[in-house]
Structure 1
Amino acid sequence: MLKAGIASAVALATLPVTLRGTNAAALSKPVVAESSFARIVEVGDGVFAVVSTPLDSAGNFATPQTLCNGGLVVGDERILSVDGYYQPEGAAWVNEQAKKLFGRPVSDVICTHLHLDHTGGLAGFQDGATGPEIYMTARTWAMMVDQYSSGTAVDGTSFLAPPARLVGPTRVIDDESQSHTLDLGGRSVTILPLGGHTPSDLAILVDDLPITFGGDLAWWGLFPNYVDAVPSKLAGSVETLMSGGSRLMVTGHGGLVSTDDMAPYAELIASIDSAALQARERGWSPEKAGEVYKMPASTADWGFFNPRYPERAVAAWYREWGMATP
């Protein structure tokens, strides 16, 4: 049966960074800034992970200003923020910490995918008439407009209230068939187009240090969200992120982890694929499949932002197969 899980998510959100992941000693890193909703952790020379802590002790999203994990990569000339966070307040806090720590604001933002917890806060990086260059794929922007631009009527007015304050890209990545390089001055990052969590995902590799920002292609300690997933691509993208030697993985949600220790996550993805195949063979609905799904032993203590995520994962496979829900 599906375990409740939310208590595990709460515990994960409040653990010190040194306890996250299985390779705790390797992940012991100094915290350089902290708020009620996130901490900034130095994970390498001039490279920082923003680790969000959105849940309170009751499992409620009490402090969702950043919500997702992200990071800062500091070059001689430019400062990159990986992702735009959930609310402008969260992005503004990250930007202010950059100013305090490095004497200058964020100059570039790369959005790993469309979801609002990674893009909804982009306006917070704006400073009057100036703001950073914002990179995202053309497909990501198109999906953002499609999903988030429609609104509901505001009582007593002729206006609509959309579900988010959308900020579009200033630099569009149109070619997802190859990687791209962004020069920050004295160091660069590789932008790696992948897919699986959504039809269009980006991973960010720091070129001079073994550090990867995986976006929501990588989760640790939490069951992943399949709301817009392309499940047939996810396992391959996870394998790509785990290949190429030992690297520190800054996940989209949950703890930091070494790629050497990510086998349980890959096993979890494989178990979801197997559960979907079994459900199809037995004529089960995604809801039924979610009810009977069991996590692999290696991830049995992982939590859920939403206990219906296994059902959602099976539904994503059904959607890709073009199947009507039984």
Structure 2
Amino acid sequence: MLKKLRIKYLLVALMAAIATIAIAIFPALTMGNGLLQAQNQPQASPTLAQGKPVETNLTTVSLQNAGLQLQEVAQGIYALVASTDFPPASPTVAICNGGFIIGSDGVLVIDPFQTPELGNLMIAVVKSLTDKPIKYVLNTHYHFDHTGGNATFARLDIPVMGRGVIREYIQSGKNNTAGVTPPTVIINSQTDLWLGDRLVRIERVDGHSAGTDLVAYVPDAKILFTGDMVFNKRIPYTGDSDIRQWQGSLYRLIATYPEAKVVPGHGDVTDVTGLQAQQAYFSWLERTALEWKSQILSKEQVLEKFAKVPDAYKDFKFKAIYPLNLESAYEQFTRSKTIPLIP
């Protein structure tokens, strides 16, 4: 129990520290050997394609020191894939994946990371690849590692979109979002967003983050940005989840987008097998929790006896979050009066 509490408080402290960083900088980038590299010299104030100035600072950040890899997953569609474990070694290291979609008259940015500094890096990467203006930003949910960069775009009057009670959660500082800039546009149903000739379909899903989850699909390229509905080879964060709802959403996404290439919220780009692997993890977790129920184990006994990550997931990152998975499973399945049928 004490070990669990120490881990839990460590996570909260680290997340709160990262979430409060508000450095507004813009990296000066050059192309070299096919990679974006930051220069360490102060630069004149750059501008976005729509002509609005961006603040600069002597400090710069690059894809390399942010732990990000730029991948073109389809023509004009890019993922910025984070490689860090959790907790990250530095606040400048991106925790989640981000991305952007380029259309004929504009760009949609998805999940601008956890700090304004990393939000500026996102802008720099977009500018290195297109002169189209950034028209919108999408938060796939409210968690700080996906929303902390909102401030960079809000200062440029770029609309930031989110779902449900995302503004209320952020304004109240829920889950270490104190100081984060909330979205300015709320989407509560399927929305077709046109970037000139390119359609992006934004849909609501449920289960991960208390009614704020969204996914984005690009039909012409069959690319699905899932946000944190998928943690690819990462232990998922379940702090305010409903795992049964999450499972239902995964079933629907698998059935609806069986041929999609998938950009997850965390981990490498995948396909429908990444959705199925997430589903399999939750099915295992549910079966295990029902075994605890049959053995009439207390939560303290579960946290002590099952603290080790099973061998099947020993190569996953984010192992520090595993005790929280045990707690969530215990509360949602072991204590539940309903015993569902498990496929």
TM-score grouping bracket, smaller chain normalisation:
0.7 to 0.9
- Alignment match, 1:185: 196
- Alignment match, 1:211: 223
User: Alpha carbon RMSD of aligned pairs, Å?
Assistant: 2.9
Q: Aligned runs of 1:100-179 on 2, under 5 Å?
A: 100-127=128-155, 130-148=156-174, 164-173=178-187, 175-176=188-189, 179=190
Compute the displacement of 1:53 (Å): 2.7
1:48 aligns with 2:78: yes
- Alignment match, 2:325: 310
- Alignment match, 1:92: 120
Partners in 2 of 1:121 and 1:86 — Cα distance? 5
Compute the displacement of 1:90 (Å): 0.7
Mark the runs of 5 or more structure 1 residues left unpaired by the alignment: 1-29, 150-161
Given that 2:153 and 2:159 are in contact with CA atoms closer than 8 Å, whether structure 1 keeps it comes out as: no
Mark the runs of 5 or more structure 2 residues left unpaired by the alignment: 1-32, 37-62, 339-343
Compute the displacement of 1:250 (Å): 0.6
- Alignment match, 1:16: none
Compute the displacement of 1:297 (Å): 6.7
CA change 1:198–1:50 in 2 (3 A) is same
Partners in 1 of 2:207 and 2:116 — Cα distance? 27
Higher mean alpha-carbon deviation, 221-230 vs 269-278, is at 269-278
Amino acid of the residue matched to residue 186 of structure 1?
Answer: D
Equivalent pairs counted in the alignment come to 275
Amino acid of the residue matched to residue 205 of structure 2?
Answer: L
- Alignment match, 1:277: 290
Given that 1:231 and 1:316 are in contact with CA atoms closer than 8 Å, whether structure 2 keeps it comes out as: no
Secondary structure, aligned partner of 1:138: coil
1:154-187 superposed Cα distances (whole Å, 9 cap, x missing partner): xxxxxxxx863221222111x34xx211111110
1:275-314 superposed Cα distances (whole Å, 9 cap, x missing partner): 2222233333445334427767764532324142332432
Q: Which residue among 104, 108, 129 is the counterpart of 1:80?
A: 108
Secondary structure, aligned partner of 1:223: coil
Secondary structure, aligned partner of 2:84: coil
1:238 aligns with 2:250: yes
Secondary structure, aligned partner of 1:308: helix
Partners in 2 of 1:266 and 1:317 — Cα distance? 16
- Alignment match, 1:253: 266
Amino acid of the residue matched to residue 76 of structure 2?
Answer: G
Q: What is the TM-score with the length of structure 1 in the denominator?
A: 0.75
Partners in 2 of 1:319 and 1:116 — Cα distance? 29
Q: Which residue among 284, 289, 292 is the counterpart of 2:302?
A: 289
Compute the displacement of 1:92 (Å): 0.8
Partners in 1 of 2:151 and 2:163 — Cα distance? 18
- Alignment match, 1:35: 64
Secondary structure, aligned partner of 2:165: helix
Compute the displacement of 1:44 (Å): 0.3
1:37-69 superposed Cα distances (whole Å, 9 cap, x missing partner): 11221000000001113349xx74335443111
Partners in 2 of 1:109 and 1:199 — Cα distance? 20
Compute the displacement of 1:239 (Å): 1.6
CA change 1:248–1:299 in 2 (3 A) is farther
Given that 1:50 and 1:70 are in contact with CA atoms closer than 8 Å, whether structure 2 keeps it comes out as: yes
1:199 aligns with 2:221: no
- Alignment match, 1:71: 99
Given that 2:173 and 2:179 are in contact with CA atoms closer than 8 Å, whether structure 1 keeps it comes out as: no
Compute the displacement of 1:318 (Å): 6.0
Partners in 2 of 1:297 and 1:66 — Cα distance? 27
Partners in 2 of 1:311 and 1:51 — Cα distance? 27
Q: Which residue among 223, 229, 238 is the counterpart of 2:235?
A: 223
Compute the displacement of 1:35 (Å): 2.6
CA change 1:182–1:300 in 2 (3 A) is same
Compute the displacement of 1:100 (Å): 1.9
Compute the displacement of 1:271 (Å): 0.8
Larger relative contact order (C-alpha < 8 A, sep ≥ 6)?
Answer: 1
Given that 1:222 and 1:304 are in contact with CA atoms closer than 8 Å, whether structure 2 keeps it comes out as: yes
Given that 2:289 and 2:334 are in contact with CA atoms closer than 8 Å, whether structure 1 keeps it comes out as: no
Partners in 2 of 1:282 and 1:213 — Cα distance? 40
Partners in 2 of 1:228 and 1:67 — Cα distance? 18
CA change 1:263–1:78 in 2 (3 A) is same
